[in-house]
Amino acid sequence: MKKLALISVSDKTNLVEFAGQLAGLEYEIIATGNTAKALSSSGIKVTEISTLTGFPEIFEGRVKTLHPKIFGGILFRRDNTEDKKEAEANSIIPIDVVCVNLYPFVKVAENPESNIETIIENIDIGGPSLLRASAKNYKYVSVLTSPAQYAGFLDELKKGGVSEDTRVKLAVEAFSHTAYYDTYISNFLENKFNLGSSHIRINYPKEKILRYGENPHQQAALYGSFQNYFEVFHGKELSYNNILDLLAAVELVEDLADMQTESHPSSCAIIKHQNPAGAAIGLDPLDAYTKALKCDPVSSFGGIVTFTSVVNEKVAEKLNEIFLEIICAPGYTEDALNILKKKKDRRLLKQLKSVREERVAFKNIPGGIILQDADRATLDLSQLQTVTKKQPTKEEMDDLRFAWVIAKHTKSNAIVFVKDKATLGVGAGQMSRVDSSKIAFMKAQEHGLDLTNSVAASDAFFPFADGLLEIIKCGATSVIQPGGSVRDNLVIEAADQNNISMVFTGIRHFKH
């Protein structure tokens, strides 16, 4: 009996070599239009699908493989007597190898120049059907979806035949391939037509296995397209914790970038355990890093440093003075790289695009997940409300806005002290806002920083006046907070009694 292999691929990588070796193993090749042309022009004998079915491709290729002779050849059970009779009666020949990859919907949809008509035409119909049929009948059919599978498959075929274990693995990969494809299409169309979503569809391909998770006894892996956002070009592989800290740092400096000015065009953040050990906006990247480092040079040891500006030689020399896990920037000068690469294990990253594109955040819970919009809220200056008798100065207002950004990216309860667009003390993740204030003050004292005439930010309102009074005791002369407590009047009264200014934002920034 004939041995048939059906090939229909958009990605024609290694196509000719693969088909040629199948032909050498006495398989007859059947293929769709463009695949058939590519094989025929390379000297490989091929039969077009339309010749086998007796029916032409129609509607500009929209219908070509959807035919009983194709799906019958794939789906009939070779050891089923009735299937054999029906196949013979309908002149159906078994198809034992199916090699299909799909129209490049993802690539076309991500191209900003693609119009909706072009995108829709790249929704594959026959391809997913072929893959699912082949995968369903894995006992008899081998299904391939990627050029990366060709070599191993051919090696096994040459050794006497493909095992059922391999066919099962290929089938599962085929179902995963179509699931990812359909997930992307559904999510894209819902977003394109503003339809909302009744389901959360998550189907990211595995990018790599990580060494471990938060702790060595926990396995971990990275899924999706993280490499589209960051290029890791030096040092050890990123760990699970590294990735979380990196994202916390990048999200912070991207928000700080919105506050940069022509005279102060550079921002820097130093992150440890997803909290800022220091952050600043400076005259240049060296100034920003130096100011950020002063906040907590001890905790910065082993931290993650991110910049909004290109790292030059002077910054690199300063960075090399302490141990840092990761340095991330939009670019590096050649001299800077020569210096930074002397530390072999430290990771050097280049940020390729903004992480603000991610619009939702979710966490797993028993039986499902909880999902929320990503916290992309920014201050609307026209909505800020000074609630005290004393008004903040322009300099204080600039620092209040800066402090508010840092508080947004600090674990709750968060209290942040700032002066001259640089952090002086950070209190994070405490059960009490009073305790956060005390910790921030203690850290500032430890590193010789004076909080006198600083400003402070609180990520949520003060339920009582005690938190505000603790901040005032530390030296702050102006405070920014959301407001909204039933005791706001008492808090405002305490501010007025101590002759400080206070601004309400109307926005809360809890970070759990």
Active site includes 67? no
At residue 512, the pLDDT reads 87
Q: Tell me, what's the pLDDT at 149?
A: 96
> 64: which 2 tokens?
């070509």
| Amino acid sitting at position 287 | D
What pLDDT is attached to residue 60? 80
Contacts of 412 (CB under 8 A, 6+ apart): 429, 459, 460, 510, 511, 512
Q: Strand 275-282 and strand 266-272: pairing?
A: antiparallel
For the chain, give the longest Cα–Cα distance: 97
What backbone torsions phi and psi does residue 309 show, to the nearest 5 degrees? -125, 165
The position carrying tokens 């089923």 is: 80
Backbone conformation region of residue 385, classed left if phi is above 0, alpha if psi is from -120 to 50, else beta: beta
Letter string b/e over residues 186-213, b meaning 16 or more CB atoms within 10 A of that residue's CB: ebbeeeeeeeeeeeeeeeeeeeeebeee
107 annotated active-site:
no
Residue 269 and residue 231: Cα distance in Å, rounded?
A: 19
How far is it, in rounded angstroms, from Cα 98 to Cα 8? 8
Q: Are 414 and 511 in contact, with CB atoms under 8 Å apart? A: yes
Beta strand ranges found along 467-511 (DSSP E): 476-481, 501-504
Taking each helix axis from N to C end, the angle separating 240-257 and 394-408, rounded to the nearest 10 degrees, works out to 160
Q: Over the range 118-144, which residues count as b (16 or more CB within 10 Å of their CB) and which as e?
A: ebeebbbebbbbbbbbbbebbebbbbb
CA distance 76 to 4: 14
Distance separating alpha carbons of residues 163 and 150, to the nearest angstrom? 15
Residue ranges in the chain whose pLDDT is less than 50: none
Q: Which two tokens stand for residue 353?
A: 């695009």
Of the candidates 3, 136, 343, 350, the residue annotated as catalytic is 136
Domains of the chain, earliest start first: 4-192 (3.40.50.1380), 231-356 (3.40.140.20), 381-504 (3.40.140.20)
Q: Kindly name the residue from 12, 169, 273, 390 that is annotated as catalytic.
A: 273
- The span from the CA of 133 to the CA of 71, in Å, is 7
Question: Which residues, in sequence order, are CB contacts of 403 under 8 Å at separation 6+?
Answer: 416, 417, 418, 423, 455, 456, 457, 480
What pLDDT shows up at residue 1? Answer: 63
Q: What pLDDT shows up at residue 359?
A: 78
